[in-house]
Amino acid sequence: MKGVILAAGRGTRLGASIPKPLTILNDGRTILDFQIEGLSRKIGGHNMIVVVGYKKELILKKFPYLIYIYNKNYAKTNTGKSLLLALKRIEDDAIWMNGDVYFDEGILDLLINSKYSCCLVDQKNCGAEEVKYDLKDRFINKLSKVLDKAEGEALGINIIRKSDIHNFREALEKIEDTDYFEKALENLVLANKLKLEPIQVRNLFCKEIDFQNDIESVKTHLSSH
């Protein structure tokens, strides 16, 4: 299995002048530190690709031993096209995540042990900015920020199985530059070309970091563990 971390964006909502994955969470460790440590223990550091863009030199300097892909169009594109750049180099099962997600390491086991391509989800009420999902026959049917009726939130950590990766790359090619990768997944599901399993986060902790209160929430979790 290969791993992809999407770390090309600017992260403007935090108001910082550094890439959001370099946000410090605990004891000098950043979001990216925790992601790399967790993935390395599951799939090996040599199997990871980090897609960079905004102020990429800061990430490369801190983690010089990783494999990188540069999205030169990071200011004009979204996660869909960043992910496509990485998946063009992968012909295996792939686990990927947004570069602004902190998670308990046990979450990776839940996803890796799934039989299908899958998304980590949390069954809850959602706000306008969260990517939401709906179900049909136990599998994900819709995946979007705009849903009239939603089961809960898609948390930004996902797996595409080797058998689905060709169709997924084609779907990523077809979406708009400004689309999130979830648009390509939803298009495949609606075309009956992909079975996408929802993997519930259960009692584990996972937090997308968009605002300062999200950082405080992660810090509180870390201090209690």
Q: Where are the domains of the chain?
A: 2-223
Burial 36-60 (b: 16+ CB within 10 A, else e): bebbeeebeeebbbbbbbbebeebe
Please list, in sequence order, all residues whose beta carbon lies within 8 angstroms of the beta carbon of residue 135, skipping any fewer than 6 positions away: 141, 151, 198
In sequence order, the β-bridge partners of residue 62 are none
As a CATH number, domain 2-223 is: 3.90.550.10
Q: What does the pLDDT average to over 184-210? A: 95
pLDDT of residue 15: 66
Chain mean pLDDT for the chain: 94
pTM for the whole structure = 0.95
In sequence order, the β-bridge partners of residue 52 are 7, 70
Judge whether 160 and 195 are in contact, CB under 8 Å.
Answer: no
Pairs from 123-131 (Cβ < 8 Å, separation ≥ 24) = 123/151, 123/152, 123/200, 124/152, 124/153, 125/152, 126/150, 126/152, 126/153, 129/210, 130/154, 130/208, 131/156, 131/180, 131/182
Q: What are phi and psi of 163, to 5 degrees?
A: -70, -20
Predicted confidence band of residue 147 (pLDDT cuts 50, 70, 90): confident
User: Could you give the CA distance from residue 71 to residue 118 in angstroms, rounded to a whole number?
Assistant: 25
pLDDT of residue 130: 87
Q: What does the pLDDT average to over 51-57? A: 97
Percentage, residues of the chain above pLDDT 90: 85
Question: What pairing do the DSSP bridges indicate for beta strands 152-160 and 101-103?
Answer: unpaired
The answer on pLDDT for 21 being more than 90 is yes
Predicted confidence band of residue 17 (pLDDT cuts 50, 70, 90): confident
Q: What does the pLDDT average to over 15-44? A: 92
pLDDT of residue 16: 72
Predicted confidence band of residue 148 (pLDDT cuts 50, 70, 90): confident
The answer on pLDDT for 37 being more than 80 is yes
Q: Half-sphere exposure of residue 12, counting CA atoms within 13 Å on the CB side?
A: 1
Q: What does the pLDDT average to over 176-204? A: 96
pLDDT of residue 218: 95
pLDDT of residue 146: 87
The answer on pLDDT for 33 being more than 90 is yes
The answer on pLDDT for 13 being more than 80 is no
85's tokens: 């750049």
| Neighbour-count burial of 63, counting CB atoms closer than 10 A to its CB (0-12 exposed, 13-18 middle, 19+ buried) | buried
